[in-house]
Structure 1
Amino acid sequence: MKSIKVLLLAGMLAVSGAVLAHGDEDHSTPSGPVKKEQKDWGIAGEAKAAKRTVAVRMTDNMRFTPDRIQVKQGETVRFSFKNDGKLMHEFVLGTKKELDEHAALMMKFPNMEHDEPYMAHVAPGKTGEIVWTFNRPGDFDFACLIAGHYEAGMVGKVKVVAASGARQGTAR
């Protein structure tokens, strides 16, 4: 019964347009207005507010470089992605719990994708970017949630230092 409900939900999402096929499409450039929704790890930022760019490389050895990033609370960061591999990769910001849940769903439905402002899908040899405002302190995660990539260790951490004790953030 539970699997029927999951399949029904997937079918409804597909019909509603909320689930799109991953395929080889490059979804690194937003196609419409950015959805500003507060998340535990921040909110979509305005490009003009970004004072720093963090360049992130994605590779087929299932790693991000850098895989540890530190920012100040309130900082808006432009993440610039370069996929140096031959496989599609993605960058998804979130909490460990949310990434775990999304990764499990991706294993069940490997062709699904969500187009959210905290994620970028980057085709082989291409580039992409997101702009994010880290308005809450804490330790957050990022990952490639394409089936098998997360499980292979394509993950990283973002440390958001509280504004009161913030020092100059650096990518490391």
Structure 2
Amino acid sequence: MKYTKWLSALSLAVLAAAGAQAHENAGHAARHDAPVVKEQKPWGIAGDRKAVQRTIDIAMTDDMRFTPARVEVREGETVRLRVRNSGQVLHELVIGNKAQFDEHAAMMMKHPGMEHDEPEMTHVKPGASGEIVWNFNRPGEFDFACLIPGHYQAGMVGTLKVMARKEQQR
């Protein structure tokens, strides 16, 4: 009887560990075949692939940095952010602002297995690439970050400057 309980407890522990490991290896849910829900955000709205005007390459590394860490786009521009993970661990790029990141990072710390997939984020396995197609239809300074637990806290953040139409004409 004790052996059966011990075996059951061991099985549950292995399954729980496998679930945590699966999150680290596979990342968040990725439903690239699902239709993109377009929701206006302060930093823009999901863009159409056919409307992409420019591609910007961003590298992610295990030193918890993005290169470049500052990106400039024009208001109204639809951009493909192509993200390459040259590290050995899962990384992500999420567009937003500090308040949203602080809230999301705290939630990720409490629920590291949480699944989500939004058009303003891409989760990239080691050695792989991902992309976000975004229409930056609001001017201002915004951010991008990796919200994998510990990465944001280690400084894995960048700045997105969306130049207003007026600035573009100077």
Q: In which range does the TM-score fall when normalised by the shorter chain? A: 0.7 to 0.9
Q: TM-score, normalised by structure 1?
A: 0.81
Structure-1 separation of matches of 2:70 and 2:31: 24
Deviation at 1:28, TM superposition (A): 6.2
Q: Percent identity?
A: 59
Q: 1:105 aligns with which of 100, 104, 107?
A: 107
Aligned residues: CA RMSD:
1.7
In the alignment, is residue 33 of structure 1 matched against residue 40 of structure 2?
no
1:22 maps to amino acid: H
SS in 1 for 2:26: coil
In the alignment, is residue 151 of structure 1 matched against residue 153 of structure 2?
yes
Higher helix share: 2
Q: 2:94 aligns with which of 92, 95, 98?
A: 92
SS in 2 for 1:33: coil
Runs of 4+ in 1 over 4 A off after TM superposition: 26-29
Deviation at 1:51, TM superposition (A): 1.1
> 8 Å contact 2:43–2:136 — kept in the other structure?
yes
> 8 Å contact 2:91–2:125 — kept in the other structure?
yes
Structure-1 separation of matches of 2:23 and 2:139: 32
Task: Give the equivalent residue in structure 1 for 2:117.
Answer: 115
Task: Give the equivalent residue in structure 2 for 1:77.
Answer: 79
Task: Give the equivalent residue in structure 1 for 2:44.
Answer: 42
Task: Give the equivalent residue in structure 2 for 1:142.
Answer: 144
In the alignment, is residue 56 of structure 1 matched against residue 58 of structure 2?
yes
Task: Give the equivalent residue in structure 1 for 2:23.
Answer: 22
Structure-1 separation of matches of 2:66 and 2:123: 14
* Alignment of structure 1 residues 1-16 onto 2, 5 Å: none
* Greater Cα shift, 110-119 or 132-141: 110-119
Deviation at 1:125, TM superposition (A): 0.6
Deviation at 1:167, TM superposition (A): 5.7
* Count of equivalent residues: 148
Structure 1 gap segments, 5+ residues each: 1-20
SS in 2 for 1:104: helix
Q: 2:162 aligns with which of 160, 163, 170?
A: 160
> 8 Å contact 1:28–1:129 — kept in the other structure?
no
